Structure 1
Amino acid sequence: MRHTKVKDLLNSSVTLQEVNAKGWVRTFRNNQFIALNDGSTINNIQCVVDFENTPEETLKRITTGAAVSVTGTLAESKGAGQKYEIQVSKLEILGDSDPEKFPMQPKKHSLEFLRENAHLRVRTNTFGAIMRVRSILSFAVHSYFQQKGFVYVNTPIITGADAEGAGEMFQVTSLPLDNLPKNEEGNIDYKKDFFGKHTNLTVSGQLEGETFAMALGQIYTFGPTFRAENSNTSRHLAEFWMIEPEVAFNDLDANMDLAEDFIQYVIKYAMDKCPEDLKFLESRLLEEEKSKPQAERSEMTLLEKLNFVLENNFKRVSYTEAIDILRDSTPNKKKKFQYSIDEWGADLQSEHERYLVEKHFKCPVILFDYPAKIKAFYMRLNEDGKTVRAMDILFPGIGEIVGGSQREERFDVLVEKMKTLGIHEEELWWYLDTRRFGSAVHSGFGLGFERLVLFVTGMTNIRDVIPFPRTPMNAEF
Structure 2
Amino acid sequence: MTKKNVAEILKSDSVLQEVELKGWVRTFRSNRFIALNDGSTLNNIQCVIDFENTDETTLKRITTGAAVAVKGILVESQGKGQSVEIQVSNIEILGDSNPDEYPIQPKKHSFEFLRENAHLRVRTNTFSAVMRVRSKLSFAVHKYFQENDFNYVNTPIITGSDAEGAGEMFRVTNFEDNKAPVTEDGKVDYSKDFFGKETNLTVSGQLEAETFAMALGKAYTFGPTFRAENSNTTRHLAEFWMIEPEVAFMDLDGNMDLAEDFIKSVINDVLKNCEDDLAFLDKRLTQEEKSKPQAQRSEMSLLEKLRFVVDNNFKRVSYTEAIDILRNSKPNKKKKFQFPINEWGADLQSEHERFLVEKHFKCPVILFDYPANIKAFYMRLNDDGKTVRAMDVLFPGIGEIVGGAQREERYDVLVEKMKAMNIDEKELWWYLDLRKYGTAVHSGFGLGFERLVQFTTGMGNIRDVIPFPRTPQNAEF
TM range (shorter): over 0.9
**1:3 offset after TM fit, Å?**
3.7
Counterpart-to-counterpart distance in 2, 1:285 and 1:207: 38
Contact preservation (8 Å) 1:278, 1:457: yes
Counterpart-to-counterpart distance in 2, 1:294 and 1:339: 22
Check 1:200–1:2 CA distance in 2 against 1; reply closer, same or farther (3 A cut): farther
Q: What code does the residue aligned with 1:172 have?
A: V
1:103 corresponds to: 103
Counterpart-to-counterpart distance in 1, 2:393 and 2:239: 22
1:31 corresponds to: 31
Counterpart-to-counterpart distance in 2, 1:421 and 1:287: 48
Q: SS of 2:122's equivalent?
A: helix
Counterpart-to-counterpart distance in 2, 1:13 and 1:200: 56
Aligned ranges 1:151-166 → 2 under 5 Å: 151-166=151-166
Aligned ranges 1:16-415 → 2 under 5 Å: 16-415=16-415
Contact preservation (8 Å) 1:3, 1:22: no
Q: What code does the residue aligned with 1:362 have?
A: K
1:351-380 deviation digits (Å, cap 9, x = unpaired): 110010001100000000000000000000
Q: SS of 1:232's equivalent?
A: coil
Q: What code does the residue aligned with 1:200 have?
A: N
Q: SS of 1:70's equivalent?
A: strand
Q: What code does the residue aligned with 1:62 have?
A: I
Counterpart-to-counterpart distance in 1, 2:202 and 2:295: 40
1:471 corresponds to: 471
Q: SS of 1:74's equivalent?
A: strand
1:462 corresponds to: 462
Counterpart-to-counterpart distance in 1, 2:175 and 2:80: 65
Q: SS of 1:339's equivalent?
A: coil
Count residues in correspondence. 477
1:375-406 deviation digits (Å, cap 9, x = unpaired): 00000000000000000000000100000000
1:300-334 deviation digits (Å, cap 9, x = unpaired): 11111100001110000000000011111111111
Counterpart-to-counterpart distance in 2, 1:40 and 1:28: 20
Counterpart-to-counterpart distance in 2, 1:213 and 1:90: 58
Q: What code does the residue aligned with 1:54 have?
A: T
> Where does the alignment leave 5 or more consecutive residues of structure 2 unmatched?
none
Contact preservation (8 Å) 2:2, 2:18: no
Contact preservation (8 Å) 2:406, 2:442: yes
Q: What code does the residue aligned with 2:141 have?
A: V
Counterpart-to-counterpart distance in 2, 1:457 and 1:228: 26
Counterpart-to-counterpart distance in 1, 2:417 and 2:450: 32
Counterpart-to-counterpart distance in 1, 2:190 and 2:405: 34
1:204-258 deviation digits (Å, cap 9, x = unpaired): 0000000110000000000000000000000000000000000000000000000
Counterpart-to-counterpart distance in 2, 1:263 and 1:441: 23
Q: What code does the residue aligned with 1:123 have?
A: R
**1:2 offset after TM fit, Å?**
7.1
1:424 corresponds to: 424
1:29-78 deviation digits (Å, cap 9, x = unpaired): 11100000000000000000110000111111111000001100011111
Counterpart-to-counterpart distance in 2, 1:285 and 1:225: 29
Counterpart-to-counterpart distance in 2, 1:134 and 1:227: 21
Q: What code does the residue aligned with 1:396 have?
A: P
Q: What code does the residue aligned with 1:129 have?
A: A
Q: What code does the residue aligned with 2:135 have?
A: S
> Where does the alignment leave 5 or more consecutive residues of structure 1 unmatched?
none
1:407-462 deviation digits (Å, cap 9, x = unpaired): 00000000000011111111100000000000000000000000000000011100
Counterpart-to-counterpart distance in 1, 2:125 and 2:371: 45
Q: What code does the residue aligned with 2:342 have?
A: D
**1:167 offset after TM fit, Å?**
0.2
**1:350 offset after TM fit, Å?**
0.5
Counterpart-to-counterpart distance in 2, 1:338 and 1:2: 60
Contact preservation (8 Å) 2:202, 2:226: yes
Counterpart-to-counterpart distance in 1, 2:49 and 2:225: 49
The TM-score normalised by the length of structure 1 is 0.99
Contact preservation (8 Å) 2:379, 2:388: yes
Counterpart-to-counterpart distance in 2, 1:133 and 1:374: 34
1:106-136 deviation digits (Å, cap 9, x = unpaired): 1111111111110000000000000000000
Q: SS of 1:65's equivalent?
A: coil
Q: What code does the residue aligned with 1:290 have?
A: K
Counterpart-to-counterpart distance in 1, 2:196 and 2:318: 45
Contact preservation (8 Å) 2:2, 2:17: no
Q: SS of 1:308's equivalent?
A: helix
Check 1:2–1:169 CA distance in 2 against 1; reply closer, same or farther (3 A cut): farther
Counterpart-to-counterpart distance in 2, 1:289 and 1:35: 29
1:452 corresponds to: 452
**1:186 offset after TM fit, Å?**
1.2
Counterpart-to-counterpart distance in 2, 1:316 and 1:384: 20
